[in-house]
Structures are given as C-alpha cells and as structure tokens.
Amino acid sequence: MPGPEPVDAAQRRAAPAIVCYDVDELPPYDAGWYSAARADATLVDSVLVGPRSAETFEVKAGQFFRIVSVDGPQVGDLNLWNANDLSERFYSGKTRQFHATHVTEGDRLWSSHPTLRPLATITHDSLGWYGFDDDGGGVHDVIGTRCDPYTQRLLHDTNYHHCCHSNLTRAVAAHTGLPVTEAELHVHDVLNVFMCTGFTKDTHQYFMKASPVRPGDSIEFFAEVDLLGALSACPGGDCSASHSSDDAQCHPLLVEILDPQAELAGWTRFETNAYDRSHGT
C-alpha cells in the first residue's frame, strides 16, 4: 500500500518537466545532403527474411539500407553492430534519451559505451505520417525489448523457439561461426521496426497494437560505420494480438543495400567518443 499523501503533494507533482539532454548540441541532420547522396544510389544486395526467422546482412559505411514490407503487415526486430568490433552495438536506451520513444527520419541509432556515436541515420520513413495516435501509440519504438524464450517460459511455462531473441541468436551464430551460447551474448535490445507501441494512460504498461505497415512501406538508413545487421521477422506478425505465436499470420521482410554512385562530398565518419578514460570511468 502507498504511504499517506503529504500536504504538499500537489506542489511536488507540479514541478516542471525538464528534457534531460541538450540535443541541440548533437550533430545536425542535413536532410538535403542525405537526399542528394541517396539520389543515384543503386541496389547492390538484398536479403529476404522469412517469417518467424532472422537473417544477417552487412552494410559498408557510406551505403544505405532499407527494410521493406513486401507481402503483408509485419514487424521486425533490428540489431546493429560495428562490423569490425561486435562490442560496439546499438544502444536503444541512449537513442531513446537523445531522440524519443519512437524514432523516424532525422533520428540516429547510437552505439554503446565507450564509443557512443551514431551507427546509422534514419533518412526515410514511409510511416512518418503516423505520429502518435489517441492511445499514445507510435511506430518504430526503442522502448520495448525483443520477445524472448525466457520471458515466454516465465509467463507461460512453455518453450518457444521462434522468439526474436532466439531468431537473432541463431542468425548471429550462423554468420560468425560462434557457438549459440556465445552468439547469444551479442544479441541486444532492438529497434522494433514497424511495431506500433506505447504506454497505457492509466497503468503506464507497455502495449502493442496492429501495425499500420502495409506492403511497400519502408524505413531507410545511412550507415555511418561498417555495419553488421540482424533482422528478425517477429512471430507476432503485425503484433495485433501476440508477439510470440505460431497462430499469427506472418510475412517476410526485405532488406535492401544501396550504394551511392557519386563521391560523398562533405561526409566524414563519426569518431569514437572523445571522453578521456585514463582516469577511470
């Protein structure tokens, strides 16, 4: 039971909300530059991710990649690493703090400590029109984790082997040659691509609802470093009812890699974070 409410409770609750980080100091997003770089990019590779499965893909720094809905409404779980150093990986929590609970064009996917730099920049989002609905739901969230077999076991006492965590683990193991138990340690919290989520207004619980994604919708990224990616086509389909199910209608997702033909004039790679660790963290 909560303790008694103090006499100054209303005053305490009325404290102003302060945005935690001065994001005006972050490197600006130059939409015109990315648009020009993308204008003559040609398709150089593609990977089809089957339903209830995952695949890896590689993107060189300076290339674009996009995730496309091809057959029907389907959400995906995305992991990203520095292809040359798997210890540098996507940091969903810091991305959320720098940008928002749901990301879109102009936002960046940041890497983990100690590098803390952009891994990729979102340059196009066909679902950017969605915004936030009356339930507080938005698309492409960095608040939820990936569905995993441990939670499935905890809540339902069943073993389910097609959770996104498991799919991503198997894909990383196949790509790297690592044993599954070691590959699993590299799998991390995701960008929930196309997933529509939020927090309930009364109990503030994480919710999902049917994704607005349709065939032809896509989200596109510019690789700021050499990337290894892994994408799982969630076993929940459009997540209108479940995110770990053999009953949900599921569809494939397509990853396309595009290479700019012109020289990327004015582009410099983001350096690793300049914090001096010589005196300890």
**What phi-psi label fits residue 168: left (phi over 0), alpha (psi between -120 and 50 degrees) or beta?**
alpha
pTM, to two decimals: 0.96
Alpha-helix runs per DSSP H in 76-163: 92-98, 149-156
What is the reported pLDDT for 281? 64
Q: Is the peptide bond before 114 cis (omega within 30 degrees of 0)?
A: yes
Q: Cβ distance 83 to 228 under 8 Å? A: yes
* Helix, strand, or coil (residue 92): helix
Alpha-helix runs per DSSP H in the chain: 9-13, 31-39, 92-98, 149-156, 164-176, 180-183
**Given the DSSP bridges, would you call strands 85-89 and 54-59 parallel, antiparallel or unpaired?**
unpaired
Q: How far apart are CA 197 and CA 47, in angstroms?
A: 26
Q: Is 40 exposed, middle or buried (0-12, 13-18, 19+ CB in 10 A)?
A: exposed
What is the reported pLDDT for 262? 83
- The beta strand positions in the chain, using DSSP E, are 42-49, 54-59, 64-69, 76-82, 85-89, 108-110, 118-125, 138-141, 191-199, 206-209, 218-223, 227-233, 253-259
Full strand arrangement of the beta sheet holding 253-259 = 42-49, 253-259, 64-69, 218-223, 118-125, 108-110
**Given the DSSP bridges, would you call strands 42-49 and 253-259 parallel, antiparallel or unpaired?**
antiparallel
Q: Which two tokens stand for residue 27?
A: 């490197």
- Which backbone phi and psi does 121 adopt, to 5 degrees? -120, 130
Per 3-state DSSP, what percentage of the chain is helix, strand, and coil (rounded to 5)? 20, 30, 50
Domain ranges of the chain: 43-261
CA-to-CA separations, 280 to 70, 115, 276, 277, in angstroms, rounded:
49, 15, 8, 5
pLDDT in tens, the chain (281 residues): 788 999 999 999 999 999 999 889 899 999 999 999 999 999 999 999 999 999 999 999 999 999 999 999 999 999 999 999 999 999 999 999 999 999 999 999 999 999 999 999 999 999 999 999 999 999 999 999 999 999 999 999 999 999 999 999 999 999 999 999 999 999 999 999 999 999 999 999 999 999 999 999 999 999 999 999 999 999 999 999 988 889 999 999 999 999 998 889 889 999 999 999 888 76
Half-sphere exposure of 33 (CA within 13 A, CB side): 14
* b/e per residue 132-160 (b: at least 16 CB within 10 A): eeeeebbbbbbbbebbbbebbeeeeeeeb
**What phi-psi label fits residue 237: left (phi over 0), alpha (psi between -120 and 50 degrees) or beta?**
left
